[in-house]
Amino acid sequence: MASGDSLNIGELLDGPGTPAIPDGWAVCPPSFFAGLTPESNLTKFFNGGDPYWEAVVNPGLVRIQLTRAILERTRRRINENKTGIELVIGPTGEGKSTAIRQAAAILGLEDSRTVLWREQGYAILDESVLAAARALGANTVLVSDDAHLVLQPLNELVMNGSVPREGLQILLASRDTDWIRQRRVLGFKLDPKDSWTSKLPLVSTKHPFGRVTEDDARKIVRSWRTLEPDPPSTISNLDDVDAAKLLSEASTGADPENGALLGGLLKIRYTPEELRAHLRDLLESLSQDATESPMTLADVVFVLALVNVAGIDGVPTEVVARFCGVDQSLFRRDVANRLGREAVANYSDDVMRTRHPTVASTIVEIAMSHDSDIAAEASAFHLLAAVEQAGSNSQFRVGYGQLFGLGRKLYKAAVPATVAPQSRALGIALARRVCELRPKTLANYMALSECLRLEKQAPKALTTVWAPLADELISRGAWEDWNKNCRTAVNEFAITASLCGDEREAAIIRMAALSDIYQANRLEYDKVSFSMRGLVLHFSRLYHNYGQPWAEEALGEINGCLAAFFPESYPVEHGTEQPLTPFTTAGTLIRQLNALQSTLRTHESDYLDIPLWVARSTFSELDKFLTKAIRESHG
């Protein structure tokens, strides 16, 4: 039987007592595990490939401490006839999925237990599953990876007393970020597992992730040498003790938040040059695997790596399926299983990621190099198109990552120095492409402007991003995210104008950020502080750089406000020798702002309709905000 194939229940169980098995679940009796032919070459498994039954039943495969602990506690509860839940939550690359599969297989082989395995991502967990478990006999073991997908129904079953207090063992594993994301989606303020202890004996999930112990390392080294035809050269001339110490130290140096176990294995197996060579060969192989879209599996791996490097937590499978042009019902067979065997992608039914940050960074470096055949920009653009087709970010489940912000995040991401210019250029191109795909979203223009500013291209940001939109920025109906981003967007506009030397325009735009134009986006302490500091900057430059004496009085008043109510934001160099104006009433500042607008009204601009902006900018909301601040400061 090929790993990942559905189990033929009819062949495994027969007779009138056979229970009805809910869709997406598979029954694995002891005879199933006994009939498996253990796979002897586990090279891809040790590279981080998805675990599968033929691998975990190999008697030579190490039982790490996590597996042994799960077995010990489960067997103890079986002997005591107590139901219990093993919930293993941690980063990718820590052996969680392998541990629960291996523990389940050992319970089947050595303890004659029947395993009810959640085989498909769509499989539900409800009363019918518990009924099937009861019908299968005492001490059935119910096992599920990607446990976050059954969090809500499991919580309901536990809390309403449906889970029996004896005769059932439940082994669950989930990536920590998936579990947290799902909790938030479901509205749990606290982790529901903490309340399950009142109903069932729940084992602590605080497993010692982050470092491979030397005991585990010794066992892994022995398995490595036994189950690979060509184990790493770094350990070939070392005894088990020294090789274990090397692996343990390598895992500590790897990023513990992203899988210390796999990080250590990769670091031992490959030098950076060897890893590049291995992944380059793998990408060339995957480039021959076409999908139903113009993209290949190599392109899929590249965009997953790009997203990882940008710091976004994976890509929804619905998006990857569209990227590949396949129906989501065929996604596991046509995409996920193929990539999982190659140890470059991690699939959890609702999201895909690269296997490890080290792999992601190296893939991006390869794909963006001058001699790569991967069309990086075309692949990334195709990903954004798939995101747009799947729906706006607000429709994605929380925690999937803000994929429309990929360009800005990529621009600012840490990438290998050899491809940093290409990465920044791609980030700008993606930020620009998102503006084309979603032209009514202010956040997209803000991201593009920031990327251009950081690239020392403020004039381009001004002429291509903000100047064409200037009049629309004071029109609420023009933007989907007006309520959330309008004040922040005009602050970005002001920064860009200032960098281009347009201080009068910048001051007008900055005052608009404090005005009633954007009252739908309420004034907050940080927003007022940020805009006021900007005003100090603009009027200081008008005074010092452009010889505008009228700006000095404005500096005294605005600095007085900053010093009184935003002391942590008050600049040490406030740009004028004039004493601070004692700030006692909001009205004084409001009159000053109106006077400044009157002074600036006659200025002419190539891109800003100054009379229109000045006419629309009134400050009753700011008056209320500061008046309240004064009242609260005086008790």
Beta strands in 271-391 (DSSP E): 315-316, 345-347, 351-354
Structure tokens at 600: 């600036």
Q: Distance from first CA to last CA of the chain, Å, rounded?
A: 76
Checking if the pLDDT of 204 tops 70, the result is no
Q: Which residues pair with residue 172 across a beta bridge?
A: 87, 144
CA–CA dist 323, 320 (Å, integer): 5
578 pLDDT band (50/70/90 cuts)? low
CA–CA dist 426, 411 (Å, integer): 8
CA–CA dist 429, 426 (Å, integer): 5
CA–CA dist 116, 252 (Å, integer): 36
CATH 3.40.50, the chain: domain bounds: 9-196
Q: Which residues pair with residue 170 across a beta bridge?
A: 85, 142
CA–CA dist 429, 451 (Å, integer): 10
Measured N-to-C along each axis, helices 357-368 and 272-286 cross at an angle, to the nearest 10 degrees, of 70
Checking if the pLDDT of 394 tops 60, the result is no
Contact 228, 41 (CB under 8 A): yes
580 pLDDT band (50/70/90 cuts)? low
Count of CB atoms situated within 10 Å of the CB of 463: 15
The residue written with tokens 């002074």 in the block is 599
CA–CA dist 201, 86 (Å, integer): 10
Contact 404, 438 (CB under 8 A): yes
Report pLDDT for 102. Answer: 96
Tens of pLDDT, residue by residue over 118-173, are: 998 889 999 999 999 988 888 799 999 999 999 999 999 999 999 988 889 999 99
Q: Which residues pair with residue 117 across a beta bridge?
A: 26, 143
Measured N-to-C along each axis, helices 525-544 and 503-513 cross at an angle, to the nearest 10 degrees, of 160
Alpha-carbon dihedral sign for residues 388, 394, 395, 401 = positive
Count of CB atoms situated within 10 Å of the CB of 502: 21
CA–CA dist 155, 299 (Å, integer): 39
Which stretch of DSSP H or E encloses residue 89?
A: strand 84-90
Report pLDDT for 616. Answer: 93
Percent of the chain at pLDDT above 90? Answer: 51
Checking if the pLDDT of 33 tops 90, the result is yes
Rounded mean pLDDT, 604-619: 94
CA–CA dist 67, 113 (Å, integer): 16
Rounded mean pLDDT, 194-212: 77
411 pLDDT band (50/70/90 cuts)? very high
Sequence-distant (≥ 6) Cβ neighbours of residue 131 within 8 angstroms: 19
Q: Which residues of 33-47 are buried (b: 16+ CB within 10 A; e: fewer)?
A: beebebbeebebbbb
Contact 359, 339 (CB under 8 A): no
What single letter denotes the amino acid at residue 55?
A
Q: What is the DSSP letter of 492?
A: H
Contact 569, 533 (CB under 8 A): yes
Checking if the pLDDT of 579 tops 80, the result is no
Q: Which numeric CATH code is attached to 9-196?
A: 3.40.50
Contact 104, 172 (CB under 8 A): no
Tens of pLDDT, residue by residue over 346-358, are: 887 788 989 888 8
3-state secondary structure of 450: helix
The residue written with tokens 């990769």 in the block is 266
Report pLDDT for 364. Answer: 96
582 pLDDT band (50/70/90 cuts)? low
Contact 443, 485 (CB under 8 A): yes
Count Cα neighbours of 442 within 13 Å in the Cβ-side half-sphere.
Answer: 23
CA–CA dist 251, 241 (Å, integer): 15
Q: Which residues of 59-91 are buried (b: 16+ CB within 10 A; e: fewer)?
A: eebbbbbbbbbbbebbbebbeeeebbbbbbbbb
CA–CA dist 227, 259 (Å, integer): 22
Sequence-distant (≥ 6) Cβ neighbours of residue 420 within 8 angstroms: none
Contact 108, 135 (CB under 8 A): no
Nearest CA to 68 out of 48, 49, 88, 91 is that of 88
Contact 310, 403 (CB under 8 A): no
3-state secondary structure of 80: coil
Q: Which residues pair with residue 315 across a beta bridge?
A: 352
CA–CA dist 599, 466 (Å, integer): 24
Three-state secondary structure readout of 104-164: HHHHHHHHCCCEEEECCCCCCCCHHHHHHHHHHCCCEEEEECCHHHHHHHHHHHHHCCCCC
Report pLDDT for 203. Answer: 75
Q: What is the DSSP letter of 354?
A: E
Whole-model pTM: value is 0.82
State the average pLDDT for the chain: 87
575 pLDDT band (50/70/90 cuts)? low
CA–CA dist 161, 200 (Å, integer): 9
Nearest CA to 546 out of 511, 506, 491, 513 is that of 506
255 pLDDT band (50/70/90 cuts)? low
Tens of pLDDT, residue by residue over 271-319, are: 889 899 999 999 999 999 999 999 999 999 999 999 999 999 889 888 9
Report pLDDT for 258. Answer: 62
CA–CA dist 416, 400 (Å, integer): 25
Report pLDDT for 396. Answer: 45
Nearest CA to 47 out of 361, 364, 416, 354 is that of 354
Contact 218, 244 (CB under 8 A): yes
Nearest CA to 293 out of 405, 366, 381, 401 is that of 381
Rounded mean pLDDT, 553-578: 71
Checking if the pLDDT of 3 tops 60, the result is no
